[in-house]
Chain A
Amino acid sequence: MTAVSKSFVELNNVTMRYSEGDELALDTTNMKINKGEFVAVVGPSGCGKSSLLKLVSGLMPPTDGIVLVDNKEVSGPLKIVGMAFQNPTLLPWRTTLDNVLLPMEIVKPHRNRLRKHRAEYEDRARKLLASVGLEGHEDKFPWELSGGMQQRASLCRSLIHEPDLLMLDEPFGALDAFTREELWDILQNLWMVRPFTVILVTHDLREASYLADTIYVMSKRPGKIIVARENPLPRPRDQEVTFTQPFTDLVHELRSHIRDVRAA
């Protein structure tokens, strides 16, 4: 290949502040994420992790530097990104199935096909829901689901249109430990079936070590990437991995980085 870089997401010397006069939210950040790579960003709270997601998805422009996705400079919302947050943000007047189908009503070309091919799309949504263990809950309303089930549905909504890029902002942060670890496996499975590029923002170091190929550690505000750590653990990972020495070593190492940046 020529000079064209093969990374899917690239940040070149990016800085960002929310408005003029504000302190920097993100300071001279460089990142290269390959297509299909699972990346986790960890750091102390308020370090600009969420700003990073907004930058890459084009919801916020960088103050300085360039953000490239698929070799094109990002200049507005990307239109193909899947997103999920700590708050599942499902629409309470729609059933689970209709919530999952929401992106199909917006993303082209699906939005023009949806009405005619409704059955086909519903089938697709049902399959996706079944793959996260929500079979039989398609016609329930969000408030009839538990927190973990809502988050699964939110995950389905972020993936139904088969996005190339998935942004996760502490998606499992509000769940109990057991549900959280169950959802790690569900996410890993979805990703292994159809690899998409993931940027997962989290403050859970075990979560990052369990899921990611590469873990970026950010300093406290103004956020800056101080460590990029490859994850040596083989795939697929299961709950047993979390009790092995390499896993705990990795978590330990990340913990000490965080300790350093918090002390700095």
Chain B
Amino acid sequence: MNKKLNLRKASPWLSAIGLFVLWELIVRIFNIPPYVLPTPSESIIVGWQFHEAIWMHATHTLYTTLVGFAIAVVFGVVLGALVGSSRTIYDAANPLLVGFNSVPKVALVPVLVMWFGIGTVPAIITAFMISFFPIVVNVATGLATLEPELRDVLRSLGATRKDILIKVGFPRAMPYFFASLKVAITLAFVGSVISETVASNVGVGYLMLSASSKFNMPLVFAGLLVIAVMGIAMYEIFNVIERRSTKWANRANPTN
């Protein structure tokens, strides 16, 4: 029993180490040149050599990501609440939202650059644009799937729409909301890095672009690893917040 639990706790580390070992072996066995695919050990060593630059760029990427994400949360909750509580607004907004979400955000970066210049602002906006959609959809779903009987119980007590939203709608939508945050934060990283790659002189995306133009592939991969680590860290933070705040929804597997 205890052994099983220990194995479960160790499993994410084991799988990560396993992947790196496999990667290392493949590169060495097939003698792949480092400008095509560097080994992970080489990437980590180079990453350490450049750690000051990486730290500066990474904190900037983290900053633009979090600002874009924060805007997405506020916007997503408000729009999700509107869409989820009114059938008419849902019908009106749905095709626009789906259409907007289908547009590749990288195609919008040049437009943003025309409006705001290169750098931080387009990165924040791209992070926002790419990450608000799952929040809207999940909040709206949480609100719209209220049991009709419960609605009847509340309405026959004289509850207003606002009462129903506050007493039942929002608490009920919480698990959906937190689940969407985990998706949205990783998407926000995608957004800010895309924008940095296309139009910026700061951030991990820019670092990777300039490293690849100098054929410094180990540094490119070091940048990728940094983004992945930041993504995992943020995901885990929201995972913990989710489990703490909506225990009732995770009752089926309390150890999870």
Residues on A close to B: CB < 8 A?
Answer: 54, 57-59, 77-85, 87, 89, 91-93, 102-103, 105-108, 141, 143, 157-158, 161, 167, 169
Please state if A92 and B248 are interface contacts (CB–CB under 8 Å): yes
Chain B: number of interface residues, binned into ranges: 20 to 34
Query: Is chain A's interface secondary structure helix, strand, loop, or mixed overall?
Result: loop
Please state if A143 and B149 are interface contacts (CB–CB under 8 Å): no
Closest CB-CB distance, A56 to chain B, in whole Å?
10
Please state if A81 and B246 are interface contacts (CB–CB under 8 Å): no
A-B contact pairs, 22 of them (CB 8 A): A57-B156, A77-B155, A77-B158, A78-B158, A79-B156, A83-B149, A83-B153, A85-B152, A87-B149, A89-B147, A89-B150, A91-B168, A92-B248, A92-B251, A93-B248, A103-B157, A105-B167, A106-B157, A141-B248, A141-B251, A143-B248, A157-B153
**One of A77, A81, A89, A161 near B149 (C-beta < 8 A):** A89
Query: Is chain B's interface secondary structure helix, strand, loop, or mixed overall?
Result: helix
Q: Sorted from nearest, which 4 A-B pairs have the closest CB atoms?
A: A79-B158, A81-B156, A89-B150, A85-B149
A106 to B154, CA, bound (A): 8
Task: Check: B163 CB closer than 8 A to any chain A CB.
Answer: yes
Residue of B nearest to A92 (CB): B248
**Residues from chain B with Cβ under 8 Å of A107 in the complex:** 157-158
**One of A78, A102, A143 near B156 (C-beta < 8 A):** A78
Please state if B149 and A79 are interface contacts (CB–CB under 8 Å): no
Please state if A58 and B157 are interface contacts (CB–CB under 8 Å): no
**Residues from chain A with Cβ under 8 Å of B152 in the complex:** 54, 57, 59, 83, 85
Residue of A nearest to B168 (CB): A91
Task: Check: B18 CB closer than 8 A to any chain A CB.
Answer: no
Please state if A77 and B248 are interface contacts (CB–CB under 8 Å): no
A51 to B175, CA, bound (A): 33
Closest CB-CB distance, B254 to chain A, in whole Å?
11
**Residues from chain A with Cβ under 8 Å of B167 in the complex:** 102, 105-106
Task: Check: B233 CB closer than 8 A to any chain A CB.
Answer: no
**Residues from chain B with Cβ under 8 Å of A169 in the complex:** 149
Please state if B171 and A91 are interface contacts (CB–CB under 8 Å): yes
A81 to B174, CA, bound (A): 29
**Residues from chain B with Cβ under 8 Å of A58 in the complex:** 156
Starting from the known contacts A106-B163, A157-B153, 13 additional A-B residue pairs (CB-CB under 8 Å) come to A54-B152, A77-B155, A80-B157, A83-B149, A84-B153, A85-B149, A87-B149, A89-B153, A92-B249, A93-B171, A102-B167, A103-B157, A106-B159
**Residues from chain A with Cβ under 8 Å of B147 in the complex:** 87, 89
**Residues from chain A with Cβ under 8 Å of B157 in the complex:** 79-81, 103, 106-107, 161
Closest CB-CB distance, B148 to chain A, in whole Å?
10
A82 to B158, CA, bound (A): 11
A81 to B248, CA, bound (A): 29
Closest CB-CB distance, A229 to chain B, in whole Å?
27
**Residues from chain B with Cβ under 8 Å of A158 in the complex:** 153
Residue of B nearest to A86 (CB): B149
A84 to B168, CA, bound (A): 17
| Given A89-B147, A89-B150, residue A106 in contact with residue B158 (CB < 8 A) | yes
Residue of A nearest to B249 (CB): A92
Closest CB-CB distance, B147 to chain A, in whole Å?
6
Please state if A167 and B249 are interface contacts (CB–CB under 8 Å): no
**Residues from chain B with Cβ under 8 Å of A89 in the complex:** 147, 149-150, 153
A91 to B163, CA, bound (A): 15
Closest CB-CB distance, A162 to chain B, in whole Å?
12
A141 to B247, CA, bound (A): 11
Count chain A CB atoms within 10 A of each CB in B155, B157, B163, B251 and give the residue with the most: B157
Closest CB-CB distance, A252 to chain B, in whole Å?
33
Closest CB-CB distance, A89 to chain B, in whole Å?
4
**One of A59, A78, A143 near B251 (C-beta < 8 A):** A143
**Residues from chain B with Cβ under 8 Å of A80 in the complex:** 157-158
A78 to B156, CA, bound (A): 6
Residue of B nearest to A144 (CB): B251
A103 to B249, CA, bound (A): 23
Count chain A CB atoms within 10 A of each CB in B156, B246, B249 and give the residue with the most: B156
Please state if B156 and A59 are interface contacts (CB–CB under 8 Å): yes
**One of B150, B156, B172, B249 near A77 (C-beta < 8 A):** B156
Residues of B103-157 at the interface with A, using a CB-CB cut-off of 8 Å, are 147, 149-150, 152-157
Closest CB-CB distance, A84 to chain B, in whole Å?
8
Residues of B77-112 at the interface with A, using a CB-CB cut-off of 8 Å, are none
